[in-house]
Every structure is written in structure tokens, then in C-alpha cells.
Amino acid sequence: MGQRTYNILFHTHTVSGIVISVALYVIFFAGSFSFFRDEIANWQYGHTTEVLDEIPADINSVIADMGPEHRLFGRDITISHYYNERKINVSIGASKDTLVMENEGQGSFYYYDTKNGKHSNYQENYSLGEFLYRLHFLDQIPYPYGRYLAGLVAFFFLFAIITGVVVHWKKIVSNFYLFRPRAKLKTLWTDSHTALGVIGLPFQLVYAVTGAFFLLKFLLIAPSVMGLYEGDQNKLFEDLEYDQPTFTFMNKPLQTDVDLNAYIVKSKEDWPEFHVTKAEIFNYRDVNMHLSITGNLNYRAKFNGVGNIIYRIADNSIVHLKNPLKNTTYLDGVKNVLFRLHLGDYAGLGLRIISFILGLISCYVIISGIMIWLVARNKKQLPEKKRRFNENVVRYYLAICLSMYPITALEFILVKIFQPNEGKVFIYSTYFIGWLLLTIFLIIRNNNGFTNKITLLIGSVLGLMVPITNGLVTGNWIWTSYSEGSEQILFIDVMWIIISLIGLWVVFLLNKRERRKKVDVS
């Protein structure tokens, strides 16, 4: 590689990394906790989820809870499971029966608690786990701009990864084994940035590709709609199997009793280790009533085993069948495999823990890259104005990024103490206002070393308070959760203890390093 090409790639890698660094840090930090979205939600509510990765087998009781039969006649009803919580999603379409009063025939959506039967809306069901999950693709910014921004960040991150590999290719192996903790600051940042960057490279590459794919699909769909489908979006969705099946409402009541649970049981018997994630009922109690059952095989049995079967209830005939045991299509691979890779949920809790660690390592790589950029430009020959600009950029970046740790730990404590009914409003106001105030304080303090240590110290102390707060408020102490088998609640408490102890250990090492430098100077 020529020197000119090397310089172009090097500066491109540096500039692209600096431009996206803050948004990328937020995405990776929130995304790391998003691997435990369900555990965080269950920890917040004090719930233990017994049925994982599927809707409950008894959907008759869910239907019975909705109201009298004549109110549901002719409606489309969807019961679905997306997260490992006690609550499932219930969507009731508008009534097709013309005899029903308009105010009684409107559709509705709510979350149904499978243990106590309570209903809740989106605002009430909004948890800290949901907040962090949505923050990792910037969904708090009005739709669709936040998602597009996150997609562009993922795309430029992919660009930064490729240019970084090209730039460091010749020394990527030798530099990986080179770590000089007692050397000067720039050397320390560079060594750790290279070593941890190589460790997290496959992880980062997967998330850059899948993140850009999911959030920038509009770039792929728009040309297809205009070119291949001549503007017919519905035809594209049909080919991608995103279209919703429709069945004519006959307005004639079905005379026989319907046991929907039996269909769920039969599908699970026909397809061993099949997890039903969605049940869709079309034209409820009408002679043209249909039931669609969708799910997937256990990932240990088959990584990409998506299945769907649609029954016509009147004669128990099958009108559509997609057998998950047979070879899946290329389309299934694109839609499902990329999704599974991004969520990291196909190999149990162990893979999610590894992904969480790699996500935090990626956060460190981002911060170390910022520090390398600053130290490399802190030269005496640079004009004072440019040096101050560079220092201010890094000061703002570090204040925004590093303050996420203590604010996140604090939010775990706040949602447990106050247990808000309107979760979305409470979390938005406390998290973002607290984040803003702490960021402003750190910017005014104008000391990067102080920012680093104080955020680690405060975040770790608050992190240790998370399981203590949980025990005081709910009585779910660590030993109680362990004895009762509340694994999800126990996991979050233990996770915060481990994170906090590591954070305090890092603070101790930083203080030890500072004392050693003072001794060397004296």
C-alpha cells in the first residue's frame, strides 16, 4: 500500500470514528444492557417468567377474558409473544358485525398478565428494559429519524472497521500481543485500543452489518418498489411474506364449540420442540373462522426453523402449511438469521453474557479511540485555538458518554423505589434530565481524569445499591431469589454486583497509577 493511500485510509478511519463516536457509544452501552431486556423488565416488576419463548398453551382463557362472545363475533384477534415476560400482547381488531354499535365495535390493544389477568397499556407496561432496548437504536428521537440516524451510525461504523483493519493489517497480530501499561498515556491508549479492538472485531462487524441492514432497509426497499414492482408496495410485502392473510367475513355464526388450545397442542405434537409465538384468529365465531399458528423450532434443534399453519375451523382443514422441519428458504435465512445474530438469543444466557461483555469492550474501544485522537493532536506546534477546540470536543464527548453508567445505575434504583404506573413518562424525565445535569456538571468541571474516575466511582457505588434497594423495597434479597428460583431477578442483582466491583477495582488502579506518577515526579 502506498503512503498516500495509507494516509487517506488512516485519516478516514479517524474522522469517521470521531464523528459517530458519541452516538455509537450510546448505541453500544444501551445495546449491551438490551441483551437482558427481559430480565431487567422482570426484575423491575418482581416477576418470574415460567413460560419462555412462546405464548401460553391456554389461549382459551385469554379469549374468555376479553368479553362476551357476541362482542367478539367477527373480529380478528392476535395473541403474540415477543419478550420473556409474564405479559403477552393482545390485539383485537374492529368488529365486522354491522349490528354492533360503533362505540362497542372499535379495536383495542393491551398487555395481558398471564398470572393475574390484569390488562395494561403501553405507557403502563413501559419498563426500564424496554427503554434501554429502544435507546440502543435511538428510538426516543421521533420516528423515523432516530432509527435512520442509528442506521447511518452503524453504516459508518462498518466503514470505520474496514478502514481500521486495512490500516493496521500488517501489524495487527504483533500489536495484539503488545501491551505496555507503564508507558506514556498515548501508548497505553493505543495498545488497549488495538488489543480490545481485535478481540471485539467479529462481534462489532456482525452488529455493524445487521444494525445497518435493519435500520436502513428503506434504502433497499425504495428502489425495489419503484423499479421491480413499479410502485406496488403491497406486492413487495407479499413476496417478502410480510402481508397479512385475509378471509371473508360471512356474518354467519359458527354453531360448534371451538377449542383453540387443541390446535396449539396438535401443532406442538406434529413438530417436536416447536415454540408457538403467535396465534391469529380471523372472523372469530364466524363460519369462515380461521386460526393461524406461527412459531419456530428450538434453536438447538434447528437454528432457522420457522413454521406456520392456518386452519379453517369449520371443517378443521389446513389452508396453508409451512413446515419448520423441512428445508427453509433463502428468504427465511435473510429475515431470521440476521435477526437472531443481532439479538444473540440463539444460544441461551451464556451467549448473551458474552455479547454483553463484548459490547462494553466496544464502549472502551470507542473511548480509547477518542483519547488517542486527542493525545495525537496535543502538540506544541499546533495553534492554541485548535488545541483548545480538540480538548473541548473530547471533554464534551467524555462527559456525555461516561455519565451514562451512573445514570443507568441510578435509574434501576429509582424505578424500584417509585414503581411508576406511567413508566414511560417517569423513565424519560428522570433518565434524560439526570443525564443532562450530570453531563453539564462534568463539562463545567473541565477535567477528563476527574470525569473518568467520578463516573466510575459513582456508578459503581450506585450499582452496589441496586440489589440492596431491591431487597429493601420488595424483600427479594439475593438469597431469597436464589432459594425461590427467581433466576431473572437474581441475575440482575448479581450482574450489578460484578459490574460495580470491577468498576471500583478500576478506580483503585487509577488512583494507584496516579500515586506512582507523583512519586516518580518527586
Calculate the CA 337 to chain-centre distance: 16
Q: What is the pLDDT of residue 520?
A: 65
pLDDT (tens digit per residue) in 369-385 = 888 888 777 777 778 88
Residue range 353-375: mean pLDDT, rounded: 90
Q: Which position has the higher pLDDT, 373 or 147?
A: 147
Q: Which of 11-15, 44-48, 222-226, 372-376 has the highest mean pLDDT?
A: 44-48
Checking if the pLDDT of 84 tops 80, the result is yes
Q: Lowest mean pLDDT of 163-172, 250-259, 502-511, name the range.
A: 163-172
List pLDDT tens digits, range 405-424: 999 999 999 999 999 888 89
Task: For residues 110-137, give the mean pLDDT.
Answer: 92
Enter the C-alpha cell of residue 157: 461504523
Residue 441's pLDDT is what? Answer: 97
Q: What is the pLDDT confidence band of residue 117, given thresholds at 50, 70 and 90?
A: confident
Instruction: Quote the strand ranges of 176-273, DSSP E.
Output: none
pLDDT at 400 over 80: yes
Is 494's pLDDT higher than 70?
yes
> Is residue 428 scored above 90 in pLDDT?
yes
Mean pLDDT calculated for residue range 73-94? 91
Query: What's the grid cell of residue 475?
Result: 424483600
Lowest-confidence pick of 97-101, 199-203, 466-470: 97-101
520 three-class SS: helix
- The answer to whether the peptide bond before residue 68 is cis (omega within 30 degrees of 0) is no
- pLDDT at position 446, please? 92
pLDDT band at 183 (very low <50, low <70, confident <90, very high): low
As a whole number of angstroms, the distance between CA 135 and CA 91 comes to 25
> pLDDT, tens digit, for every residue of 215-234?
887 776 666 555 666 666 66
Tell me, what's the pLDDT at 388? 87
Of residues 260 and 513, which shows the higher confidence score?
260
DSSP H or E segment with residue 88: strand 87-92
Residue 45 is predicted with a pLDDT of 93
Q: Is the pLDDT of residue 170 over 80?
A: no
Of the ranges 193-207, 296-310, 360-374, 465-479, the best mean pLDDT one: 465-479
pLDDT tens digits for range 262-297:
999 999 999 988 999 999 999 999 999 999 999 999
Distances in Å between the Cα of 5 and the Cα atoms of 9, 161, 164, 288 are 6, 17, 13, 67
pLDDT (mean) for 309-314: 95
Q: What is the pLDDT of residue 459?
A: 97
Residue type, 477: W
- Residue 316 Cα to chain centre, angstroms: 39
Q: Compute the C-alpha angle 142/437/446, nearest 5°.
A: 120
440 confidence band (pLDDT: 50, 70, 90)? very high
Confidence of residue 71 (pLDDT cuts 50, 70, 90): confident
For residues 496-511, give the mean pLDDT.
Answer: 94
Kindly report the pTM of this predicted structure: 0.91
Percent of the chain with pLDDT over 70: 86
Query: Are 430 and 417 a contacting pair, CB within 8 Å?
Result: no
Q: Among residues 214, 462, 448, which one has the least CA distance to residue 340?
A: 214
